[in-house]
Amino acid sequence: MPAETEPAPAVDAIAAPNSNPARIHLYRPQNQLGDLLLTVPAIRSIRERFPRAHIVLVVGRQNADAVLGQPWADEIRVVDTRNFLGVMRAGWRDLARAAARRGGGPDLAVYFTTVSYSRSSALLVRWSGARERIGFDPARYGERDAAGLTRVAAPPGQGARGGRVATPMLGPNPGPEAAPIHQSEWSLLLARAAGAGVRPEPPYYIPDRALLARSPEGAVYLHPGAGKPHNRWPADRFAEVARELTERGRSVWWLEGPQDPGTVDQAARALGFSLPVVRGETIPMLAARFQRASLYVGNDTGPLHLAGAVGCPAVGIYGWTDPAEWRPVGRCVRSVRAMDHKLESISSRDVLNVALPLLEEDRCAVV
């Protein structure tokens, strides 16, 4: 644990630094695909605000493909924050770079966090040697400042208290009096503190053209799984959606990821006849499929966010998580959630009533 330092000054989220940084490091190394994609509007905002800066994006190994090859950064550094030795090695490399470079480390580092605080990621921010380090107050997570922040970004309507920022806790249940703030907006608050923060227009992922040529046009993808079992809508409801879409002449495909094996088999048994299945696809190939698709329907999990990011018409099905906070960023995204916040209370007709109009909207047509 690093030594305690004086609290960083609290800053209003729209305050801009008094510099034009030439080197910027952006940190989002946690491994959740959806969380990384929800940060892309802020990353792009910083890119567009500082077009001449050399931007380094630090991400987790598991989901690096969500940003590799994208134009949002000049350099992608991949770390495994689940392996502390790997974090130490990455930190040592940063310290060595800062020592060897004239002027030291980067001018600016931004530490993006959502509902959790990673000490190892925060240490990477500290070890970057950045002259200015911006992030949210770690006290909101019950943590000390491992990143050595020089500026603490304050959410809207919140002021400083004792050098720190009085802010509501992040998460799916912010409290009965707190209006939910979308997770992409939290990241944009940090971008504004860095002098950027204007939300760019979608898309938020640009598929590889060569992969687009290998993807079927107009397919409908249904994803009955999720890495978290309590995020899974009942498989028989997915089967009912598949049956109606098939009867309407749509080309329906099942989708299954490495964290939800067996979920397609459950839905297929309930359906009673076979449909093509996509398993073990890479993030870039999935993105290409989704951009050519006519519809995606799935639970609150990573591929839903990828579909939204590329502009695919997408329907997310939510239970305990609130789509007001967690829906994907994109132009053709819709959400379904029961009043009692239970997945079992959502019928197949509830989902179809949202999905079918998306198939007819001109602005959501396959391009």
Give the end of a domain, one of 193, 218, 243.
193
Considering the domain boundaries, does residue 91 fall inside one?
Answer: yes
| CA quadruple 85, 90, 94, 100: dihedral sign | positive
CB 140 within 8 A of CB 128: no
pLDDT at 268 over 60: yes
Considering the domain boundaries, does residue 53 fall inside one?
Answer: yes
Beta strands in 166-244 (DSSP E): 220-223
Per-residue tokens: 185: 């907006």
Give the pairing of strands 333-337 and 314-318. parallel
Mean pLDDT, the chain, whole residue set: 85
Q: Do 354 and 250 belong together in one domain?
A: yes
Q: Do 174 and 282 belong together in one domain?
A: no
Q: Do 188 and 249 belong together in one domain?
A: no
Considering the domain boundaries, does residue 68 fall inside one?
Answer: yes
Q: Do 247 and 315 belong together in one domain?
A: yes
Give the end of a domain, one of 193, 225, 241.
193
Q: The domain that contains 314 carries what CATH number? A: 3.40.50.2000
Considering the domain boundaries, does residue 5 fall inside one?
Answer: no
Number of domains the chain contains? 2
What would the DSSP string read from start to end of 326-344?
HPPPSSSEEEEE-TT--GG
Range of the domain at 126: 10-193
| CA quadruple 57, 61, 66, 71: dihedral sign | positive
What is the chain's alpha carbon radius of gyration, rounded to the nearest angstrom?
Answer: 21
Q: Do 291 and 164 belong together in one domain?
A: no
Considering the domain boundaries, does residue 202 fall inside one?
Answer: no
Q: Do 187 and 287 belong together in one domain?
A: no
Q: What is the average pLDDT across 290-304? A: 97
Share of the chain above pLDDT 70, in %: 81
- Cα–Cα dist 9/164, whole Å: 7
Considering the domain boundaries, does residue 314 fall inside one?
Answer: yes
Q: What is the average pLDDT across 20-27? A: 95
Q: What angle do CA 341, 342, 348 make, to 5 degrees?
A: 110
Q: Do 102 and 145 belong together in one domain?
A: yes
Q: What angle do CA 184, 336, 112 make, to 5 degrees?
A: 15
pLDDT at 79: 86
Give the neighbor-by-neighbor strand order of the sheet with 54-60: 10-12, 151-154, 132-135, 108-111, 23-28, 54-60, 75-79
Q: Do 283 and 173 belong together in one domain?
A: no
- Cα–Cα dist 127/237, whole Å: 49
Considering the domain boundaries, does residue 200 fall inside one?
Answer: no
pLDDT at 307 over 50: yes
pLDDT at 306 over 90: yes
Amino acid at 193: A
pLDDT digits (tens, 9 = 90+) for 235-265: 999 999 999 999 999 999 999 999 999 999 9
pLDDT digits (tens, 9 = 90+) for 311-324: 999 999 999 999 99
CB 204 within 8 A of CB 332: no
pLDDT at 153: 87
Q: Do 177 and 276 belong together in one domain?
A: no
pLDDT digits (tens, 9 = 90+) for 30-58: 778 999 999 999 999 999 999 999 999 99
pLDDT at 3 over 70: no
- Cα–Cα dist 352/249, whole Å: 15
pLDDT at 143 over 60: yes
Q: Do 67 and 178 belong together in one domain?
A: yes
- Cα–Cα dist 53/43, whole Å: 13
Considering the domain boundaries, does residue 42 fall inside one?
Answer: yes
Q: Do 277 and 218 belong together in one domain?
A: yes
Q: Where are the alpha helices (DSSP H) in the chain?
A: 33-49, 84-100, 119-127, 183-193, 209-212, 235-247, 263-271, 283-292, 302-310, 323-326, 348-360
Q: Do 189 and 222 belong together in one domain?
A: no
**Kind and range of the H or E element at 108?**
strand 108-111
Angle, helices 33-49/183-193, rounded to nearest 10 degrees: 30
Give the end of a domain, one of 193, 227, 257.
193
